[in-house]
Structure 1
Amino acid sequence: MHVDYPVDFDQDPGLLTFTFGGKEAVAEVPAPATLSTSTLDAFAGRLDRPDMLPSDADLQGYLNPQTGPFFIPQAHAGDTLAVHFTSIVPKFDFGISTLMHFFGSLTSTPKTPTLQDPLPERLWYYKIDKDRGIVTMDANESEHTFDFAMDPMHGTVGVAPPLGEVHSSLTPGSWGGNMDTPELRQGATCYLGVNVEGAMFSFGDGHARQGEGESCGTAVEAAMDSTVALDVVSGYYTPWPRIETDDYIMTTGSIRPMEDAFRIAHTEMVYWISEITGMSTMDSYQFASQTSLTPIANAVDTVYTVVCKIPKAMLPSVQVYGGVHERLKAM
């Protein structure tokens, strides 16, 4: 089944979704299905010219809008929702990155305060050439120009949190949310534990590209036209978001301090390796210690996200989630 859900880019941003949990579903998507829709950029379209600064737009309350939530009738609490990113394409020919006061990894912030003034506001207006697959940075204070390869991804993907909680779409956690990992690009499958009836799946925060860590606090933020393939793994709960690509399996952890995000991601990987191989926990711990990669997804959000990656080549005979990644690719 295929579902199209159009998004009105001119509507009042206040009518959009800015939380995980606490919102009624905008549509029903029976699984398995593909869903084609659009997402606004993290600024809800309010920064769209090279001569603007973040303070020129009323961004208060209008950050990181999500498309959704979508009710998946086959998804019940205790299941896992599989989300495969079939296509992620920038909607427009530009993207925006900024420096905002007291936000970013290399400035004073409300959670890490110092007696320093904030870094100055800045805005970089990136040109996006979809045909060439290029995003172009023009330096603000010199004549330098750089062409970067376009690498579209979604910074935010998630379901309703457990225990009836409602969390800002700026926050990542066990439900997914604003993980800001470049691993969530086209071709990746994300596994999310279902906490409520229907899962209440939402996603957004498109990035035309992003470095690991998202150190200034914003990627090349861009509206997206995206297609995802959805299915449910019944009777199996995923405690923290996992990601699968053709080459890797990955676990995530989101918390502060960052070393605890590292611990969550690696603990989840150890348990997963033990489950899928039949090795003991201690043998799996040794295996993960010698084979894992650990990219930092973000060092700027409300809490930080760390990813643990294991090459599938290290586990040549192992299939995870019953091969749903391959099935969703075929859709």
Structure 2
Amino acid sequence: MSQYQTIHSHHSHYGWDNGIEAVRQVAPGEILEFEVRDASGGQLSARSDASAVGTLDFDKVNPVTGPIEVDGAEPGDAIRIELLDFAGVGWGWTAIIPGFGLLADEFKTPFLHISEYDEQRVRFVDGIELETAPFPGTVGLAPAAPGHHSVVPPRRVGGNLDLRDLTRGATLYLPVEVAGGLLSVGDTHAAQGDGEVCGTAVETQFSVSARIGLVKGANLPAPQCETTRPLRRSRRDDKGFYVTTGVGPDLMQASRDAIRAMIDHLGKHYGLAPEMAYALCSVAVDLRIGEVVDVPNWVVAAQLPKGIFL
């Protein structure tokens, strides 16, 4: 990947701000390599334990590499990011961070789990393997509103989208709000379930190569993307799925109920402790909306691929 222009990891920042000076100006069609730091900003290592989670400096989490300015990009246009390749470091972490996650009120103790991975598989624990499916959790442009904005919540201009379908071959379109767009990339993952329910995936460092393009006059209301592979399809699907559900008038509560039921299932049938089961849900279980039309109750399903169990 080194044949491309590289945006090095020391060119990173910790929030969105259209006042940050671009580190490079590129023409549409150029290929860049973004060196991305992990979501802890280097505060966690392969030798860290749960105590390190409790002492994280949150002013240094979720760094993004950039920004870059795209020639000719103006408000109303869209930046096109075609994801080409990923190169990782071979290990990643999944944490339960107090106060963060879908079940934050139930999981209040710091937890950290280290996984190893190669290009094909993530070895989560003995007997559980996931498919390696790298993607950047955060890809975004600078917002028009002045000042510093947290990198944690996603926005109209992208950011912390956590769309696991943005892997090799996918293309993301982001609406431009400021001249040049000011694109940054971060928060790379080796694997994640739809929902990232405990608040973290298999967090890791990747170098991401991407072709940067420009669509004039796109006028997108929010980020859009296209993929070259079926959504939610992997080699781990061949053994089928176990699905738990949440049913009720509130989608967030239904999501909580579906994940809580899946944690119970993983404990009863696979002997996983609640914290490990919750972490596994975050990296392997997909939350799906079953229906939102049958008033007064909606259905959320949590889908576990049985093929991850060896």
Is TM more than 0.5 here?
Answer: yes
Q: Measure how far apart 1:239 and its partner are.
A: 1.6
Q: Measure how far apart 1:196 and its partner are.
A: 0.6
Q: Is the 8 Å Cα contact of residues 133 and 190 (structure 2) preserved in structure 1? A: yes
CA distance in 2, matches of 1:219, 1:68: 22
Q: Is the 8 Å Cα contact of residues 96 and 198 (structure 2) preserved in structure 1? A: yes
Q: Measure how far apart 1:106 and its partner are.
A: 1.3
Match for residue 82 of structure 1 among 56, 80, 83: 80
In structure 2, relative to structure 1, the CA distance for the partners of 1:295 and 1:177 (3 Å cut) is farther
Secondary structure in structure 2 of the residue aligned to 1:61: helix
Secondary structure in structure 2 of the residue aligned to 1:167: coil
Matched, 1:161 2:143: yes
Q: Which residue of 1 aligns with 2:163?
A: 181
Matched, 1:152 2:153: no
CA distance in 1, matches of 2:163, 2:100: 18
Q: Measure how far apart 1:60 and its partner are.
A: 2.3
Matched, 1:124 2:123: no
Q: Measure how far apart 1:247 and its partner are.
A: 5.6
Q: Which residue of 2 aligns with 1:68?
A: 66
Matched, 1:98 2:95: yes
CA distance in 1, matches of 2:53, 2:130: 27
Identity percentage of aligned residues = 30
Q: Is the 8 Å Cα contact of residues 54 and 110 (structure 2) preserved in structure 1? A: no
Structure 2 unaligned segments of length 5 or more: list them. 232-249, 253-286, 290-310
Secondary structure in structure 1 of the residue aligned to 2:108: coil
Aligned residue pair count: 233
AA aligned opposite 2:101: G
Deviations 1:214-259 (A, max 9, x none): 011100001011110111111222120001113679xxxxxxx968
AA aligned opposite 1:60: F
Q: Which residue of 2 aligns with 1:20?
A: 16
Match for residue 222 of structure 1 among 204, 208, 212: 204
Task: Kindly report structure 1 stretches of 4+ aligned residues shifted beyond 6 Å.
Answer: none
Structure 1 unaligned segments of length 5 or more: list them. 109-115, 139-143, 250-256, 260-293, 297-331
Q: Is the 8 Å Cα contact of residues 47 and 57 (structure 1) preserved in structure 2? A: no
Deviations 1:76-116 (A, max 9, x none): 111111111011232x11001101111110122xxxxxxx6
Q: Measure how far apart 1:24 and its partner are.
A: 1.4
In structure 2, relative to structure 1, the CA distance for the partners of 1:51 and 1:35 (3 Å cut) is closer
CA distance in 2, matches of 1:83, 1:184: 10
Q: Which residue of 1 aligns with 2:256?
A: none
Q: Measure how far apart 1:186 and its partner are.
A: 1.2
AA aligned opposite 2:141: V
Match for residue 121 of structure 2 among 134, 158, 167: 134
Match for residue 48 of structure 1 among 27, 45, 50: 45
Q: Measure how far apart 1:28 and its partner are.
A: 1.1
TM-score by length of 1: 0.65
Secondary structure in structure 1 of the residue aligned to 2:115: strand
Worse-matched range after superposition: 81-90 or 50-59: 50-59
In structure 2, relative to structure 1, the CA distance for the partners of 1:194 and 1:51 (3 Å cut) is closer
Deviations 1:154-207 (A, max 9, x none): 110111113335421111010101011111111111111111110001111000
CA distance in 1, matches of 2:228, 2:56: 41
CA distance in 2, matches of 1:171, 1:244: 22
Q: Is the 8 Å Cα contact of residues 104 and 217 (structure 1) preserved in structure 2? A: yes
CA distance in 1, matches of 2:218, 2:159: 20
Q: Measure how far apart 1:70 and its partner are.
A: 0.3
In structure 2, relative to structure 1, the CA distance for the partners of 1:88 and 1:258 (3 Å cut) is farther
CA distance in 1, matches of 2:180, 2:144: 13
CA distance in 2, matches of 1:3, 1:160: 24
TM-score by length of 2: 0.69
Q: Measure how far apart 1:57 and its partner are.
A: 4.7
Task: Give RMSD over aligned pairs.
Answer: 2.3
